[in-house]
Chain A
Amino acid sequence: MSARILLIEDETAIRRFLRVALESEGHDVLEAASAREGLAQAARTAPDAVILDLGLPDADGLSVLQGLRGWSEVPVLVLSVRADEAGKVQALDAGAQDYVTKPFSTAELLARIRSLLRDRRSAEEPGAEITLGPLRIDAAAHQVQLAGDPLSLTRREFDLLWMLARHAGRLLTQEMILRSLWGEAHAEDTQYLRVYIRQLRAKLGDDAANPRWIFTEPGIGYRMASE
């Protein structure tokens, strides 16, 4: 599945090795070294995904994201440094799909890009069934099977699992999940979410201390294993 990927990053060395890695997966790579150039490229070439560095020389990466979101729904993966937790959350809230922390593992970055592209396709043609390894989720029949055994989930638990699984491999912030499942008014009631995640984990036989399915990003959100 080859795609066109726009890389907005001011460090030449990083652009160079990412281009090698992305091309090895069969993608087309477009490069931009500044915020202005990045926005212009995005408008001109309509990429399938954007990799955006938050620390750019001419403007904050966040403002690029906001500019982009004015007219495009293209998936964005943000590159951030670890000390900047606040920036990360802001970027996710402003519409970035995921982030990786510098220094990152190339393999991990490629996996995230894969899941972003898959996510986009599934959003375009929403399926009624998701299979993640031994886990099968059937939205039409409202049924979940783990290694062939049916699990009995409440409606809320099912919705939560469906949302996580539909974006498997992608980080979903607590706020995002709460807003989508409980509505705007409950966007900050993170304790609801903690309780449901705990119940869901118990039913999936997942151990919070050594997770197989649902990974916690402390203070930010949850990520479902993609297989």
Chain B
Amino acid sequence: MMPDRTRPDPEALLPEARREGRGRLKVFLGAAPGVGKTYAMLEAARRRRDEGASVLIGVVEAHGRAETEALLRDLEVLPRQPFYHGGRILHEMDLDALIAARPDLALIDELAHSNLSGTRHEKRWQDVEEVLAAGIDVFTTLNVQHVETLNDTVARITGIRVRETVPDRVLEEAHEIELVDLPPDELIARLRAGKVYVQDQAARAVANFFAKGNLTALRELAMRTAADRVDAQLREHMAAHAIEGPWPTQERVLVLLPDGIEGRDAVRIAKRAADRARVEWLAVGLTELSREGTGVPRPAQALRLAQRLGAEVSQLQVDRDPGAEILDYARRHNVRRVVLPRPPPRPWAARLLRPRAHERLLRQLLREGQDYELTLVADSAAPRRGPARRPRLLPADPLRDAGRAVLAVALTSALALAIDRFLPVVSLSLLYMTAVVAMAARLGLGASVATAALSFFVYNFLFTRPRYTLEVWSQSELLTLVLFLVASIVTGNLAARLRSRVIAQRAIAERTSTLYDFSRKAAAAASFDDVVWAAVSHVAAVLQGEAILLAPDAEGRLAIAGAFPPEDRIGPRELSAARYAFDHGEAAGQGSGTLPAARWLFLPLSGADRRLGVLGIATPDGRSADPAERRLLEALADQVALALERIRLSEDLAQSRVASEAERLRSALLSSVSHDLRTPLVSILGAAEGLELPGLGPEQRGALTEVIREEGERLDRYIQNLLDMSRLGHGALKPNRLPVDLRELAGAARHRLRGVLRPFHLEVQIDPRLPPVSGDPILLEQVLVNILDNAAKYSDPGAGITLGARVQGARVALWIEDHGPGLPPGSQEAVFDMFWRAEQGDGGRTGTGLGLAICRGIVEAHGGSIRAGARADHGRGTRITLDLPLSNPEALP
């Protein structure tokens, strides 16, 4: 029973008291570099400054991002302190100057940063603690992978281990955590656009890290960390203000793991229950006080599993009567549902007379825990402990075999003596025979021969007359003895041979399945890194040890491509062993002939015509792999090499495909230039010369100048298209987004094309009240001009062209329809390719085949889409449809 339930818990008041007089810490937490933490922090700081607080930037890394630098511009920045380090001058935050300046708020970027040696604290978070202690508020930024307890999880998710970590305590004591969130797709887009600054890590590791799957997982982790924090504050608040649980807000799940229970099923069930209810869950290992010191408690494994699955894990020391304490714990932690493994079955008398803590706990929970849902889980581990039953097959060991032989003979003799009275002496030999066969099956030939020989003498000594001597009187008994010896050896031999065949078969089966498993994983791997990851994780699992794979990097130097468990460093001795294996194509390192002192054994990975890398392995106890393991590893290494080679080849193939595509474009461009650039020039030169001919009437002169003008304009459009295309091709196109009125845009495009459009009837179907779209007006005008120009080019004079737009959700659909010949079937996509034309050759309509490709480039740069198809009324003609985002409607006054 608790002494007084409404008195605030003094320990819970402590953190609140410690905050008095201290600065408040706000952490901007993100899932990965590049999500915009620093930006968010600066914005928040500017708001604080506008409210009148004095803000000082201790250290902020803008990494050259213009938008971040713009925010920095009018904030006060503390000059950094120079440090002489390794022959270079480096800079760190000037902690003393910051504290002496006594701002209301200090901005200190990158909480996980490690300071240079020579500064006061090893880590930046320690600097921050000191600043907080001086009563200064601090804003800081942190990526979730730097949180200490999440470090393992992140390493498992991403395959990259981060060395700079921040203790969870710092995060727990933060006054506020703000999650800076960016969907993975947008982050990847930012990365591609070069907007993400990544510290100097290998490019491949970075690519790995920014895979979409990783980012999604990290994002979830960051969200959960932020959410946890809110929940933790709630709990603290409850404890500090003596509010009793359970609160209805968040109904947590608690799994109890008493001593002596395997408990993993219970953990899994608790995890599923928590997931379904979208709540947090707790796992508590119960150690009985009286049992302390009896070694590692059994539920340790289950607790580790729980931690891996995301539970908050703790250990409770309980006495033999733990019910009250557990109920109290559950109440304090806002638990609604309790999961408990069922106690192992025992005779009811034993349960009654000497109840175990586990059984008492169950009884108390049933009696007093009315507030809680109770789930009992059968502990299925006991009956199926270890792998499926199969005869144990042990390798040969002469000393042990001899011992077992003696033991077997002794036991058999004891049995034989016991039943001597009921059976004829000859039959007793069968008992010994049984022992011989059993030994052969279990231990092999050596043991069976030893047993047979020993049995021969003991049987002779104990049972043949005269008993208790080695003499034999009866001829028949002598014969029995000899026959026994022969039969024993023959059957033992047979049994032993059977045994070794079984062993060999099993080894082959295991090896096959290991290899098969790996080849299945490797076949599913789509990239070099996937194969590497599959290889190291598989090899590590097979060996129950560690595995590492090194491959040549871009400069041809061996570098770590992947490791399990994740590892990014390797010792010099190991590296030289790896190099030896790579250069000479033979095993090197631990347990081999070369550099045996290295911790790893390296096997070369050889492809058909080149070396692809080396596979390093280390067993947990440092022993060398036995020959069978070595054979298996070599077979695995061959498979890894094959898989890597497959990936390399397909990458080469993709590269050559890109190259041939570039080649195709180049030749299309050449032919286009020679045809499209020349044709108007021919007309211009011809008409100009024609003007000089004597005897031309004013009408003829007019016609010739008209030709010059029109052809000149055509040439201009063509060159403009080429320029636009090259701008698009370099990715230099960044739409300058403004609200754009589509009716105005249509008017401007029509004005620019007034000459071309004169013979046509252009109908604009855009509601004047259509809200503006968000886009670059100049670029979007170009899109309309290109499409209208195309429509005019393929229409007969006098035909109608329609330009319309309509709101669809948060976007606008814009379409242009003509009455031309329509698109050839199957070319709806091809029209957006460069240098595509509806009709090829001199007889075709003139144009560059670039117009629509440019449109697609511009529209996609706006986050929109463009497609071509048949007219909506299925009549003759083409319809081009664009989809563009609406501008923010509330921008209008």
A220 to B777, CA, bound (A): 9
Q: Evaluate contact between A210 and B893: CB separation under 8 angstroms.
A: no
Residues 774-795 of chain B, each 1 if its beta carbon lies under 8 Å from chain A, else 0: 0011101100000000000000
CB B44 to nearest CB in A, in angstroms, measures 25
CB A82 to nearest CB in B, in angstroms, measures 6
Q: Evaluate contact between B747 and A191: CB separation under 8 angstroms.
A: no
Q: Evaluate contact between B750 and A219: CB separation under 8 angstroms.
A: no
Closest to B713 in A: A103
Q: Size of chain B's interface in residues, with CB distance under 8 A?
A: 34
Point out the residues of chain A lying under 8 angstroms from B308, CB to CB: none
Q: Evaluate contact between B776 and A192: CB separation under 8 angstroms.
A: no
Cβ-neighbour of B748 out of A192, A198, A202, A216 (below 8 A): A216
Q: Evaluate contact between A219 and B744: CB separation under 8 angstroms.
A: no
CB B128 to nearest CB in A, in angstroms, measures 39
Q: Evaluate contact between A208 and B891: CB separation under 8 angstroms.
A: no
Q: Evaluate contact between B776 and A219: CB separation under 8 angstroms.
A: yes
Q: Evaluate contact between A208 and B712: CB separation under 8 angstroms.
A: no
Q: Evaluate contact between B776 and A207: CB separation under 8 angstroms.
A: no
Q: Evaluate contact between A217 and B739: CB separation under 8 angstroms.
A: no
Point out the residues of chain A lying under 8 angstroms from B741, CB to CB: 194, 198, 208, 216
CB B388 to nearest CB in A, in angstroms, measures 74
Point out the residues of chain B lying under 8 angstroms from A219, CB to CB: 736, 738, 776-778, 781
Given that A194-B739, A219-B777 are contacting pairs, would A209 and B893 also be in contact in the complex, using a CB cutoff of 8 Å? no
B335 within 8 A of A: no
Q: Evaluate contact between B744 and A218: CB separation under 8 angstroms.
A: yes
Given that A208-B743, A209-B766 are contacting pairs, would A215 and B748 also be in contact in the complex, using a CB cutoff of 8 Å? yes
Q: Evaluate contact between B739 and A191: CB separation under 8 angstroms.
A: yes
Residues 691-714 of chain B, each 1 if its beta carbon lies under 8 Å from chain A, else 0: 000000000000000000000110
Cβ-neighbour of A208 out of B744, B777, B892 (below 8 A): B744
CB A152 to nearest CB in B, in angstroms, measures 20
Q: Evaluate contact between A211 and B776: CB separation under 8 angstroms.
A: no
Residues 746-769 of chain B, each 1 if its beta carbon lies under 8 Å from chain A, else 0: 111011000000000010101010
Q: Evaluate contact between B746 and A218: CB separation under 8 angstroms.
A: no
Point out the residues of chain B lying under 8 angstroms from A215, CB to CB: 747-748, 751
Point out the residues of chain B lying under 8 angstroms from A83, CB to CB: 720, 723-724, 727
Q: Evaluate contact between A191 and B736: CB separation under 8 angstroms.
A: no
Q: Evaluate contact between A209 and B750: CB separation under 8 angstroms.
A: yes
Closest to A191 in B: B891
Closest to B738 in A: A219
Point out the residues of chain A lying under 8 angstroms from B716, CB to CB: 103
Cβ-neighbour of A217 out of B748, B750, B776, B780 (below 8 A): B748
B470 within 8 A of A: no
Q: Evaluate contact between B727 and A218: CB separation under 8 angstroms.
A: no
Q: Evaluate contact between B764 and A85: CB separation under 8 angstroms.
A: no
CB A110 to nearest CB in B, in angstroms, measures 15
Size category of the A interface is: 20 to 34
Point out the residues of chain A lying under 8 angstroms from B747, CB to CB: 207-211, 215-216
CB A59 to nearest CB in B, in angstroms, measures 24
Given that A191-B893, A209-B766 are contacting pairs, would A218 and B745 also be in contact in the complex, using a CB cutoff of 8 Å? yes
B35 within 8 A of A: no
Point out the residues of chain B lying under 8 angstroms from A207, CB to CB: 743, 747
A210 to B727, CA, bound (A): 30
Cβ-neighbour of A209 out of B713, B720, B736, B743 (below 8 A): B743
B740 within 8 A of A: yes
Given that A194-B739, A209-B766 are contacting pairs, would A218 and B777 also be in contact in the complex, using a CB cutoff of 8 Å? yes
Closest to A189 in B: B893
Closest to A81 in B: B723
CB B768 to nearest CB in A, in angstroms, measures 7
Closest to B892 in A: A191
Cβ-neighbour of B740 out of A85, A211, A218, A220 (below 8 A): A218
A83 to B556, CA, bound (A): 43
CB B786 to nearest CB in A, in angstroms, measures 13
Residues 376-400 of chain B, each 1 if its beta carbon lies under 8 Å from chain A, else 0: 0000000000000000000000000
A195 within 8 A of B: yes
Point out the residues of chain A lying under 8 angstroms from B780, CB to CB: 218
A190 to B780, CA, bound (A): 18
Given that A209-B764, A219-B738, A219-B776 are contacting pairs, would A192 and B893 also be in contact in the complex, using a CB cutoff of 8 Å? yes
Point out the residues of chain B lying under 8 angstroms from A103, CB to CB: 712-713, 716
CB A167 to nearest CB in B, in angstroms, measures 18
Point out the residues of chain B lying under 8 angstroms from A211, CB to CB: 747, 751
Q: Evaluate contact between A210 and B778: CB separation under 8 angstroms.
A: no
A198 to B724, CA, bound (A): 31
CB B286 to nearest CB in A, in angstroms, measures 66
A159 to B701, CA, bound (A): 48
Residues 128-155 of chain A, each 1 if its beta carbon lies under 8 Å from chain B, else 0: 0000000000000000000000000000
CB B737 to nearest CB in A, in angstroms, measures 11
A161 to B599, CA, bound (A): 85
Closest to B712 in A: A103
Point out the residues of chain A lying under 8 angstroms from B712, CB to CB: 103
- List which A162-221 residues lie within 8 A (CB) of chain B: 190-192, 194-195, 198, 202, 207-211, 215-220
CB A216 to nearest CB in B, in angstroms, measures 4
A21 to B724, CA, bound (A): 31
Point out the residues of chain A lying under 8 angstroms from B892, CB to CB: 191, 195
A103 to B719, CA, bound (A): 11
CB B776 to nearest CB in A, in angstroms, measures 7
A218 to B776, CA, bound (A): 9
CB A56 to nearest CB in B, in angstroms, measures 20
Q: Evaluate contact between A85 and B893: CB separation under 8 angstroms.
A: no
A209 to B768, CA, bound (A): 9
A81 to B741, CA, bound (A): 25
A157 to B762, CA, bound (A): 30
Point out the residues of chain A lying under 8 angstroms from B739, CB to CB: 190-191, 194
Point out the residues of chain A lying under 8 angstroms from B766, CB to CB: 209
CB B724 to nearest CB in A, in angstroms, measures 8
Cβ-neighbour of B750 out of A85, A202, A210 (below 8 A): A210
CB B803 to nearest CB in A, in angstroms, measures 8
A189 to B75, CA, bound (A): 26
A211 to B743, CA, bound (A): 10
Point out the residues of chain A lying under 8 angstroms from B772, CB to CB: 194
- List which A100-133 residues lie within 8 A (CB) of chain B: 103
Closest to A209 in B: B764
Which residue, A83, A190, A192, A208, has most C-beta atoms of chain B within 10 A? A208
A83 to B733, CA, bound (A): 11
A189 to B720, CA, bound (A): 32
A202 to B768, CA, bound (A): 10
Point out the residues of chain A lying under 8 angstroms from B891, CB to CB: 191
Closest to A86 in B: B736
Closest to A217 in B: B748
CB B834 to nearest CB in A, in angstroms, measures 19
Q: Evaluate contact between B744 and A216: CB separation under 8 angstroms.
A: yes
Point out the residues of chain B lying under 8 angstroms from A192, CB to CB: 893
Residues 41-58 of chain A, each 1 if its beta carbon lies under 8 Å from chain B, else 0: 000000000000000000
Point out the residues of chain B lying under 8 angstroms from A191, CB to CB: 739, 891-893
3 smallest CB-CB distances across A and B, nearest first, come from A218-B777, A219-B777, A209-B764
Q: Can you name 12 A-B residue pairings with CB atoms under 8 Å?
A: A83-B720, A103-B713, A194-B741, A195-B893, A208-B741, A216-B744, A216-B748, A218-B777, A219-B738, A219-B776, A219-B778, A220-B778
Q: A211-B747, A216-B744, A218-B744 are in contact. List 12 more A-B contacts (CB 8 A).
A: A103-B713, A103-B716, A190-B739, A194-B741, A209-B766, A216-B741, A216-B745, A216-B747, A218-B740, A219-B738, A219-B781, A220-B778
What is the interface of chain B, defined by CB distance below 8 A to chain A?
712-713, 716, 720, 723-724, 727, 736, 738-741, 743-748, 750-751, 762, 764, 766, 768, 772, 776-778, 780-781, 803, 891-893
